[in-house]
């Protein structure tokens, strides 16, 4: 028995498998077997011919398939031979239902784009249209290996329930705004509404609640302070857009004598529970301030490029040690929700703009969509890597494609060569939501038809 215990301890250290010597066979709901596991654990282990056992929502064992198979009795085995098995991608910034406006307002600067989009939202962002748009976003993201996404949009309750019903993991919360939007929320009702939302969803295992404001240029100081108070009371993530365009930075400087970053700091809104989208226009001291306050950044390079907002100083942010994750932004400024594509852009654009092909490296870009993204949303203990005890959010990519042949380096393929059509299966919270490219929780054809009907109404200019 003593010898067996020695073996077990060694086994634990190398393969993170916890075996009870009295009961060497453990049950599991799913066993993902074969394939190359890109764990993103602290050692960044890549396990060839690996296996992952899932019980309930969690990974209960991970390691070489030959060792795992000995001890796991699974209800269902998923053959991942010839595949890459990765942590599900996390899209840390988006406006999901804006899929209904995809391709409607292109080739405009941010201010002109907002001037077109806001009246369209007032007319069309009702519950049924937003639900169709959110469902389409979920279909697109699951097909692209995304298992968790942030959302900031109207019809908050319905969006959240739509994602939960599809088995999708969502970061969502009330967005404080001065205007009365299409969901009719009066500014004076933001605080009780936020409390009500948080009380309803904070124990939902698929929902990470946050508090949001659109931006410093569309929100009063009082409203920012209200959002900060709710974020502090419930210890929730705070999300806003910051320093996205030059016009925004100039506007806030004229109003308050400070940049948006300085202004947010003054209000007490920078910190480890804050996630700022874009951060394109930053001075050196602002980058240092983000680092010193442990504030995270949602880097959205395609949206920034398309709106000509510029290119964020990603290499400087990374060198300073700022936690940077990746987001697609909404489909009306991107125009897709493709995280593999966004990682490719993030890896490429900075090499061209800043003249340094070594930054960012492919592995570091993949961190920005997995472990760093998990940290950005405060879920680093539960998400972002394939490890025993973490939630089973997993994407499986088929390697048997000409553009993925041969394979020398998994990060190289994930960032520079793979695309969303390579994603074969996706698990969220321990449950399959797509197997062998078949969606299990959403009716893609019905959803596309519903969004096409919304587009017909938008095109005809009819209301709702
Ligand atoms: Zn945005």
In the reported structure, the alpha carbon of residue 99 is separated from the centroid of ligand 1 by a whole-number distance in angstroms of 13
In the reported structure, the alpha carbon of residue 236 is separated from the centroid of ligand 1 by a whole-number distance in angstroms of 19
Q: What percent of the chain has pLDDT over 90?
A: 87
Residue 106: predicted pLDDT: 93
pLDDT-based confidence at 18, cuts 50/70/90?
low
pLDDT-based confidence at 217, cuts 50/70/90?
very high
pLDDT digits (tens, 9 = 90+) for 122-131: 999 999 999 9
* DSSP code per residue over 220-275: -HHHHHHHHHHHHHHT-EEEEEES-SHHHHHHHHHHHSS-HHHHHHHTT--STTEE
Report if residue 112 sits inside a domain: yes
Residue 184: predicted pLDDT: 86
Task: Say if residues 129 and 99 touch (Cβ distance below 8 Å).
Answer: no
In the reported structure, the alpha carbon of residue 93 is separated from the centroid of ligand 1 by a whole-number distance in angstroms of 6
Residues, CB within 5 angstroms of ligand 1 (ion): 329
Query: Could you list the residue range(s) of the whole structural domain that residue 420 is in?
Result: 2-88+391-439
The domain that contains 422 carries what CATH number?
2.30.40.10
Q: Is the per-residue pLDDT at 16 higher than 60?
A: no
In the reported structure, the alpha carbon of residue 398 is separated from the centroid of ligand 1 by a whole-number distance in angstroms of 31
In the reported structure, the alpha carbon of residue 153 is separated from the centroid of ligand 1 by a whole-number distance in angstroms of 9
pLDDT-based confidence at 180, cuts 50/70/90?
confident
pLDDT-based confidence at 358, cuts 50/70/90?
very high
The C-alpha angle 320, 322, 327, rounded to 5 degrees, equals 135
Residues 81 and 109 in one domain: no
Which position has the token pair 């519903």? 450
Report if residue 460 sits inside a domain: no
Residues 122 and 71 in one domain: no
Q: Which of 348, 376, 404 is a domain's end point?
A: 376
Report if residue 464 sits inside a domain: no
Q: Which of 342, 376, 410 is a domain's end point?
A: 376
| Domains identified in the chain, total number | 2
Residues 144 and 292 in one domain: yes
Residues 238 and 345 in one domain: yes
pLDDT-based confidence at 405, cuts 50/70/90?
very high
Residue 188: predicted pLDDT: 87
In the reported structure, the alpha carbon of residue 126 is separated from the centroid of ligand 1 by a whole-number distance in angstroms of 19
Report if residue 339 sits inside a domain: yes
In the reported structure, the alpha carbon of residue 302 is separated from the centroid of ligand 1 by a whole-number distance in angstroms of 12
pLDDT-based confidence at 10, cuts 50/70/90?
very low
pLDDT digits (tens, 9 = 90+) for 416-435: 999 999 999 999 999 999 99
pLDDT digits (tens, 9 = 90+) for 373-388: 999 999 999 999 999 9
In the reported structure, the alpha carbon of residue 239 is separated from the centroid of ligand 1 by a whole-number distance in angstroms of 10
CA pair distance 168, 172, nearest whole angstrom: 12
In the reported structure, the alpha carbon of residue 248 is separated from the centroid of ligand 1 by a whole-number distance in angstroms of 14
Task: Say if residues 451 and 99 touch (Cβ distance below 8 Å).
Answer: yes
In the reported structure, the alpha carbon of residue 95 is separated from the centroid of ligand 1 by a whole-number distance in angstroms of 6
The CA–CA distances, whole Å, from 215 to 106, 263, 277 equal 22, 11, 10
Task: Say if residues 57 and 430 touch (Cβ distance below 8 Å).
Answer: yes
Q: Considering the chain, what is the average pLDDT of its residues?
A: 93
Residue 6: predicted pLDDT: 34
Tell me what the mean pLDDT of segment 107-118 comes to: 88
In the reported structure, the alpha carbon of residue 217 is separated from the centroid of ligand 1 by a whole-number distance in angstroms of 14
Residue 334: predicted pLDDT: 92
Q: Is the per-residue pLDDT at 293 higher than 60?
A: yes
First to last CA, the chain: 71
In the reported structure, the alpha carbon of residue 427 is separated from the centroid of ligand 1 by a whole-number distance in angstroms of 26
In the reported structure, the alpha carbon of residue 157 is separated from the centroid of ligand 1 by a whole-number distance in angstroms of 19
Report if residue 230 sits inside a domain: yes
In the reported structure, the alpha carbon of residue 110 is separated from the centroid of ligand 1 by a whole-number distance in angstroms of 11
In the reported structure, the alpha carbon of residue 21 is separated from the centroid of ligand 1 by a whole-number distance in angstroms of 51
In the reported structure, the alpha carbon of residue 280 is separated from the centroid of ligand 1 by a whole-number distance in angstroms of 13
Residue 226: predicted pLDDT: 95
In the reported structure, the alpha carbon of residue 330 is separated from the centroid of ligand 1 by a whole-number distance in angstroms of 6
Q: Is the per-residue pLDDT at 411 higher than 90?
A: yes
Spatial CB neighbours of 3, under 8 Å, sequence gap ≥ 6 = none
In the reported structure, the alpha carbon of residue 109 is separated from the centroid of ligand 1 by a whole-number distance in angstroms of 14
Residues 372 and 402 in one domain: no
Residues 356 and 399 in one domain: no
The CA–CA distances, whole Å, from 208 to 133, 164, 197, 373 equal 21, 11, 11, 13
The domain that contains 322 carries what CATH number?
3.20.20.140
Report if residue 335 sits inside a domain: yes
Q: Is the per-residue pLDDT at 4 higher than 80?
A: no
Q: Which of 346, 376, 406 is a domain's end point?
A: 376
Residue 13: predicted pLDDT: 36
Residues 84 and 104 in one domain: no
Tell me what the mean pLDDT of segment 36-49 comes to: 98
pLDDT digits (tens, 9 = 90+) for 51-83: 999 999 999 999 999 999 889 999 999 999 999
Q: Is the per-residue pLDDT at 17 higher than 70?
A: no
Residue 70: predicted pLDDT: 86
Residue 5: predicted pLDDT: 39
Residues 83 and 97 in one domain: no
In the reported structure, the alpha carbon of residue 80 is separated from the centroid of ligand 1 by a whole-number distance in angstroms of 35
Report if residue 451 sits inside a domain: no
CA pair distance 384, 394, nearest whole angstrom: 9
DSSP 8-state secondary structure symbol assigned to residue 206: T
Residues 73 and 122 in one domain: no
Report if residue 382 sits inside a domain: no
**pTM, 2 dp:** 0.94
Residues 192 and 45 in one domain: no
Tell me what the mean pLDDT of segment 82-101 comes to: 98
DSSP H/E element including 450: helix 444-460
CA pair distance 263, 276, nearest whole angstrom: 13
Give the CA dihedral 41, 345, 414, 418, nearest 10 degrees.
160
Residue 19: predicted pLDDT: 52
Q: Is the per-residue pLDDT at 320 higher than 70?
A: yes
DSSP H/E element including 87: strand 83-87
Residues 242 and 329 in one domain: yes
In the reported structure, the alpha carbon of residue 303 is separated from the centroid of ligand 1 by a whole-number distance in angstroms of 9
pLDDT digits (tens, 9 = 90+) for 19-31: 555 556 899 999 9
Residues 53 and 195 in one domain: no
Residue 2: predicted pLDDT: 38
Task: Say if residues 218 and 176 touch (Cβ distance below 8 Å).
Answer: no
In the reported structure, the alpha carbon of residue 342 is separated from the centroid of ligand 1 by a whole-number distance in angstroms of 14
């Amino acid at each position: 028995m003593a010898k067996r215990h020695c073996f077990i301890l060694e086994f634990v250290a190398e393969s993170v498998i916890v075996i009870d010597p009295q009961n060497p066979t453990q049950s599991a709901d799913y066993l993902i077997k074969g394939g190359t596991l890109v764990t993103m654990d602290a050692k960044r282990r890549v396990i060839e011919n690996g296996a992952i056992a899932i019980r309930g929502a969690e990974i209960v064992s991970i390691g070489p398939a030959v060792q795992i198979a000995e001890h796991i009795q699974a209800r269902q085995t998923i053959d991942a031979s010839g595949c890459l098995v990765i942590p599900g991608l996390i899209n840390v910034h988006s406006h999901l239902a804006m899929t209904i406006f995809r391709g409607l307002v292109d080739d405009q600067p941010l201010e002109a784009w907002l001037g077109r989009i806001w009246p369209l939202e007032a007319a069309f962002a009702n519950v049924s249209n937003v639900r169709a748009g959110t469902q389409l976003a979920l279909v697109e993201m699951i097909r692209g290996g995304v298992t968790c996404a942030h959302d900031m949009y109207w019809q908050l309750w319905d969006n959240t329930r739509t994602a939960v019903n599809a088995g999708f993991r969502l970061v969502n919360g009330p967005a404080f705004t001065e205007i009365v939007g299409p969901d009719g929320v009066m500014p004076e009702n933001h605080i009780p509404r936020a409390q009500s939302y948080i009380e309803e969803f904070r124990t939902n295992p698929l929902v990470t609640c946050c508090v949001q404001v659109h931006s410093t240029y569309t929100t009063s100081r009082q409203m920012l302070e209200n959002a900060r108070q709710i974020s502090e009371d419930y210890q929730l993530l705070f999300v806003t857009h910051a320093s996205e365009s030059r016009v925004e930075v100039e506007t806030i400087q004229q109003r308050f004598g400070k940049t948006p970053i300085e202004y947010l700091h003054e209000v007490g809104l920078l910190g480890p529970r804050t996630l700022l989208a874009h951060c394109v226009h930053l001075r050196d001291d602002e980058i240092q301030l983000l680092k010193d306050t442990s504030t995270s950044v949602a880097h959205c390079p395609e949206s920034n490029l398309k709106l000509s907002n510029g290119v964020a100083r990603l290499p400087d942010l990374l060198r300073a040690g700022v936690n940077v994750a990746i987001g697609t932004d909404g489909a009306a400024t991107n125009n897709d929700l493709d995280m593999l594509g966004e990682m490719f852009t993030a890896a490429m654009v900075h090499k061209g703009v800043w003249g340094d092909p070594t930054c960012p490296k492919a592995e570091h870009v993949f961190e920005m969509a997995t472990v760093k993204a998990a940290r950005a949303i405060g879920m680093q203990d539960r998400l972002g890597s394939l490890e025993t005890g973490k939630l089973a959010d997993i994407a499986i990519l088929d390697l048997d494609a000409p553009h993925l042949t041969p394979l020398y380096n998994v990060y190289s393929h994930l960032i520079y060569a793979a695309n969303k059509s390579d994603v074969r299966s996706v698990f969220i919270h321990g449950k399959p939501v797509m197997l062998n490219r078949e969606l299990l929780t959403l009716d893609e054809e019905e959803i596309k038809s519903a969004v096409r009907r919304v587009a017909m109404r938008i095109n005809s200019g009819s209301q709702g």
